[in-house]
Amino acid sequence: MPERPESSTTGSEIPVQRMRPGDHAFVSYGDDEGRWDVLTAFTWLGLAGGERVIVFADPGVPRDDVLARLGADSPELADALGRGQLVLSSMRELIQPERNFTATRQQARLVEETDRAVGDGYRALRAYIDMHWVPALGTDVSAMIDRETHADHLFTDRPYSEICAYDRRWFDDAVLEAMRRAHPCNLLEYVGALHAEHTSGVVRFAGEADLATRERFTAAVAVAMAAARGHALTVDLTHLHFLSAGCAGDLLRAAAAVSGPARVDIRCSPFQAGLLRNLGARETVRLVLSETGAGC
Amino acid sequence: MLTGDRVGEGARDGGRAGLLLDWSFTAAELPQLRLLVEEHAARAGLGARRRGEFVFAVSEIATNAVEHAGGRGRLRLRRIAGELECQVADAGPGFTEAVIPELAPGVDGDGRGGRGLWLARMVTDRLTVEDGAPGAVVTVAVKLPG
């Protein structure tokens, strides 16, 4: 499994499965695997959840290729296209009859499309926007940056979510870093990826802790335990979309091995808390489970 | 990529009634497998909590096949008689329900997959293990809402 480059982090990393209405997310890709992985997951989970999905793919990729990547032979996909739940569009089409991009025009159209989706009976609208539209429309990158940093009204208390996907082979590093910081959410680049972030007294996980990522998960827990040096440690699992029994067991064993009076506080979903209790969390006296409503 | 064999819900041919997914998988495809099962569970109407439990159970039995039964397995997901049912078949040495502990296995488990299967049984409505000749077939199911 390719790993996301370990640049500086913002504490806002989430897996694509956690995208919800109101989320505005950045993702970057450096190859076709990452490019299609997130798009496919975002699309199918949106359709299954009763949302309308609009895909603004790279204008350089033919429509049939996009459909093939999404699963062109699937009857569900054909049904979704037929009833208008899934729409393949382009930025040029969205802003018509205007020919030049303006943030005002684009955002007004997205508001219209969101309202239309809800009016048509869908739970929300989600849009995947490959940022290759910027060169395709001859738009200045500064106009794109302005749009991306002034878009809160599209999302606040609105049934709309959006992924902005940046090709690292086209956008320069400074723009990518600025855009990553400008978005409230940063998506992990691949389905199945695990992200571990260490800050003082806290290790925060996002993604999936399973057979493939178990070694990294366990190593990150061990690093955090060692760095805590007997002081309290928080292990934040709330952005883990999947926690396997094996990884949960490793976490409990590591917590049980901590010496001294310091406690280990595990922030987790109710399901994760149940899993940890079933595996014997109560036997570890220094362990405290703090349940949040988030997650599954 | 999601490359599993998506099967239309209306498929009715040759014992495929209600078949939603038929996919041979390896370890590398476990994340995609979970994603597909999650998607179908959402379509079937399972709420977030129950969906997470079902995906967990399926992932544990699929992981068991990968780890202990030859590195691969075959998953069939069906919607039948008010249930969402998932079968995972493997070509390993085979095992019986006897490997699943009666009581909570604790943090150290048994190292042979029994802990994951015990948890999978706990969070679903039905779990059975049958002789697959060769290998084993593990079936889990959850009741669908109303």
Cβ contact, residue pair A278, B122, below 8 Å: yes
Please name the amino acid found at residue B5. Answer: D
Q: Is residue A296 over pLDDT 80?
A: no
Q: What's the confidence (pLDDT) of residue A222?
A: 94
ipTM above 0.95, yes or no: no
CATH number at residue B99: 3.30.565.10
Q: Which residues of A touch B119 (CB under 8 A)?
A: 245, 275, 278-279
Q: Which residues of A touch B34 (CB under 8 A)?
A: 208, 242
Closest CA to B35 of A293, A270, A208: A208
Q: What's the confidence (pLDDT) of residue B11?
A: 34
Q: Which residues of B touch A271 (CB under 8 A)?
A: 49, 52-53, 56
> What's the structural domain count of chain B?
1
| Helix then strand then coil, % of chain B, to nearest 5 | 35, 25, 40
Pairing of β A194-199 and β A185-187: unpaired
Partner residues linked to A22 by β-bridges: none
Show which residues on chain A lie within 8 Å of chain B, measured between beta carbons. 1, 17, 33, 36-37, 40-41, 44-45, 47-49, 69, 71, 73-76, 191-192, 208, 210-212, 242, 244-246, 249, 252-253, 256, 269-271, 275, 278-280, 283, 295-296
Q: Is residue A27 over pLDDT 50?
A: yes
Q: Is residue A260 over pLDDT 50?
A: yes
**Which architecture does CATH list for A13-187?**
3-Layer(aba) Sandwich (3.40)
In tens, the pLDDT along A116-144 reads: 999 999 999 999 999 999 999 999 888 88
Say which residues have a Cβ less than 8 Å from residue A244's Cβ, sequence separation at least 6: A209, A210, A211, A214, B59, B60, B63, B116
Q: What is the domain range of residue B113?
A: 5-143
How does DSSP classify residue A217? H
Quote the minimal CA–CA distance from B119 to chain A in Å. Answer: 8
Q: What's the confidence (pLDDT) of residue B111?
A: 54
Q: Is residue A6 over pLDDT 50?
A: no
CATH 3.30.750.24 boundaries in chain A:
194-291
CA–CA distances in Å: residue A35 to residues A12, A31, A131, A139, B138: 20, 6, 11, 22, 35
- Provide the 3-class DSSP secondary structure of residue B63: helix
Question: Sorting pLDDT into bands at 50, 70 and 90, what band is A192?
Answer: very high
Q: Of residues B59 and A98, which shows the higher confidence score?
A: B59
CATH 3.40.50.300 boundaries in chain A:
13-187
Please name the amino acid found at residue A118. Answer: V
Query: Which CATH superfamily includes the segment(s) A194-291?
Result: STAS domain (3.30.750.24)
- Provide the 3-class DSSP secondary structure of residue A258: coil
How far apart (Å, rounded) are the C-alpha atoms in residues A190 and A37?
A: 6
Closest CA to A217 of A235, A199, A191, A190: A235
How far apart (Å, rounded) are the C-alpha atoms in residues A228 and A292?
A: 23
pTM of the model: 0.90
Q: Of residues B77 and A257, which shows the higher confidence score?
A: B77
In this structure, what token pair is assigned to residue A9? 């982090």
Quote the minimal CA–CA distance from A126 to chain B in Å. Answer: 16
- Provide the 3-class DSSP secondary structure of residue B57: helix
Quote the minimal CA–CA distance from A192 to chain B in Å. Answer: 5
